[in-house]
Amino acid sequence: MVCSGDIGTITQTGIFTALKEGQGQVVASAGGVVGTAVVVVTKGATDTEGPEIQVLFPLEGQTIVEEQVIVKGTAKDPSGIKMVLVNGMQASYDPISGTFTSQSVKLLPGTNSITIIAEDNLGNRTTKIININKGCKVVIKLTIGSNYAGKTSCDKTEILRLDLAPFIQNGRTLVPLRFIAESFGAQVDWIEDASKNGEGTIIITLTKSDGTKIVIKMHTKVKTVIVEKTAPGQFVPVTSQLEMEVAPFIVKPSDRTVVPIRFIAEGFGAEVDWDATNQEITISYLP
């Protein structure tokens, strides 16, 4: 597809962009069939709008644990896209789908600003900035029968002390509720029963770095658990009712409430690994 008269250009997808006033002829061919059309360009309203940019990954405010990230999105304009830059580096662009893919962008600890610039064939530019977080996975290691645990984050390790060592009962590993919840940065609320019998309701609330809110509600000696998850930007939680194989209970005389570690950890979106040889539990999660 060509245009005579130097009055404009035509993209691979057939989009004509006027460059100056005048008259020319467009010639297109396909499968041996040739078609022509006269194009007249007259002065009219000037296009000063830049391309429309949409970032598909990563999303604004998202936490990334990798050292680098590849930005993907779309850039579209009626005149066609001349180029897309991500943090000053040329991104690959597919004019058919209108999608772009950046080169690897290095991330530093904390908040990172990524700048996307798209320029159309008329020289108009649009700039979009997104902010993402460079996070570190947290790894907690506990050993059955030991009152000490290791917690590692961003290559920093600290030793934590438990009031009650993890133990196994009915094939399930149990740990002090407050320790495991607060290790995740969660808040624990205790509401004693009106009968003052020592039993009560436990409410664990965790707000993750991406804005997700998780609330776990349980009662001592009861296996039924209510889990409420509220996604970022939402106000109504998604509620589910689950059954634990071992109900939380209070250990005497220490008066520590214990819970199945796998149920709580996975409820917070963590991964749990069990090393039977060393009797060690490893919990990995993104805050």
- 60 & 104 share domain: yes
153 and 214 share one domain? yes
Can you give the pLDDT at residue 45? 59
Q: Domain of 257: which CATH number? A: 3.30.457.10
Is the model's pLDDT at 168 over the cut of 90? yes
Beta strands 16-18 and 156-161 are unpaired
Please indicate, yes or no, whether residues 106 and 157 belong to a single structural domain of this protein.
no
pLDDT value at position 44?
Answer: 58
Number of domains forming the structure of the chain:
3
What DSSP element (H or E) covers 119?
strand 110-120
Do 122 and 180 reside in the same domain of the chain? no
What is the band of 3 on the pLDDT scale with cuts at 50, 70, 90?
low
- What is the chain's alpha carbon radius of gyration, rounded to the nearest angstrom? 30
- Per-residue pLDDT band at 105 (split at 50, 70, 90): very high
Q: Are 18 and 126 within one domain? A: no
**pLDDT, position 82:** 95
Encode pLDDT of 237-251 as tens digits.
999 999 998 999 999
Q: pTM higher than 0.75 for the full model?
A: no
Whether residues 217 and 180 share a domain: the answer is yes
Contacts for 181-185: CB closer than 8 Å, 24+ residues apart:
181/206, 181/264, 183/138, 183/140, 183/149, 183/151, 183/283, 184/265, 184/268, 184/270, 184/285, 184/287, 185/287
192 and 271 co-located in one domain: yes
CA-nearest of 275, 287, 244 to 262 is: 244
Are 272 and 262 within 8 A, CB to CB? yes
Confidence of residue 272 (pLDDT cuts 50, 70, 90): very high
Q: Residue 136: pLDDT band by 50, 70, 90 thresholds?
A: confident
Query: pLDDT category, 146, cuts 50, 70, 90?
Result: very high
Q: How far apart are CA 233 and CA 239, in angstroms?
A: 16
Q: Are residues 213 and 262 in the same domain?
A: yes
Higher model confidence: residue 22 or residue 269? 269
Domain ranges, residue 89: 52-134
**158 and 258 in one domain?**
yes
Q: Does 172 map to a domain?
A: yes
37 and 90, same domain (yes or no): no
Give the Cα-Cα-Cα angle 7, 117, 209 (nearest 5 degrees): 155
| Inside any domain, residue 232 | yes
- Structural domain contains residue 234: yes
Summarised one tens digit per residue, pLDDT across range 51-89 is 999 999 999 988 888 889 999 999 999 999 999 999 999
46 lies in some domain? no
Write the pLDDT tens digit of every residue in 19-60. 776 777 777 777 677 777 777 666 655 778 999 999 999 999
Q: Is there a single domain that holds both residue 149 and residue 262?
A: yes
Residue 24: phi, psi to the nearest 5? -150, 180
For the cut 60, the answer to whether the pLDDT of residue 232 exceeds it is: yes
Asked if 22 and 8 count as a contact pair (C-beta separation under 8 A), the reply is no
Residues 143 and 219 in one domain: yes
Instruction: Confirm if 229 and 148 have CB atoms less than 8 A apart.
Output: no
- Is the model more confident about 12 or about 156? 156
Distance of CA 244 to the CA centre of its chain: 28
